[in-house]
Amino acid sequence: MQLFYNPEITETTAQFSFSKEESKHVIKVLRKKIGDTMHITNGAGWLFSAEIISDNIKNCVAEIKSKQFQEKPKSHLHLAVAPTKMNDRYEWFLEKATEIGIQEITPIICAHSERKYIKQERFEKILQSAMKQSLSCYLPKLNDAIVLKDFLKQEFNDDLFIAHCEETNRKSLKKELKKIRI
């Protein structure tokens, strides 16, 4: 199955048009034509099955035939990770985090961070691509980069775990999560 992403589709949408760029991809590259079925998500839990009703290369139009809501996972997983010196490593992290179902990601700027600026738009595209690749109906929320001290001042509804390399009393994350979920 191939999954497409369109954040503007809601459960009440009857038909929609793909963007010019996406229309070209659907019709020219994937060679879809009138009558072909497509699967689309809005990144908010909905999976739509749609049929192409216009195969115009500049304005592909599809009609929603069915919809299904995917329940959110019970636990909300939020990772806060400092961007790495090599941008491709952080991009790989974003891809893998999305594939395993992380719901929220916050880039953290630390005292010794070499990368103090992130490319938000590029990271969003990576998350979208990974969501489609893993056939997930949920797009993780990518927060703006924040300084570590400011991040730690926030209120957290759930438990907070911080991975570190300090020589202190260490706990197993797996064991701690089991205690919470019981």
Q: Which of 100, 172, 165, 128 is closest to 6 using CA atoms?
A: 128
Distance CA 112, CA 107 (A): 14
Clarify whether residues 7 and 85 are in a common domain.
no
Instruction: Please give the residue range of the domain that contains residue 7.
Output: 3-69
Clarify whether residues 160 and 91 are in a common domain.
yes
Clarify whether residues 57 and 89 are in a common domain.
no
In the beta sheet, which residues pair with residue 61? Answer: 17, 54
Tens-level pLDDT at each residue, the chain (182 residues): 889 999 999 999 999 998 898 899 899 999 999 999 999 999 999 999 999 999 999 999 999 999 999 998 877 888 999 988 888 999 999 999 999 999 999 999 988 888 878 889 999 999 999 999 999 999 999 999 999 899 988 887 767 777 777 788 888 877 777 776 54
3-state secondary structure of 61: strand
Return the CA Rg of the chain: 20
Clarify whether residues 103 and 57 are in a common domain.
no
- pLDDT the model gives residue 106: 94
Clarify whether residues 83 and 131 are in a common domain.
yes
What predicted TM-score, i.e. pTM, was given to this entire model?
0.83
Alpha-carbon separation of residue 85 from 19, 109, 162 (angstroms):
34, 12, 21
Q: Is the dihedral of CA 5, 70, 36, 130 positive or negative?
A: positive
Give me the number of domains the chain comprises.
2
Q: Which among 46, 69, 92 is the end of a domain?
A: 69
- pLDDT the model gives residue 87: 86
Q: Give the pairing type, strands 104-109 and 141-142.
A: parallel
- pLDDT the model gives residue 158: 65
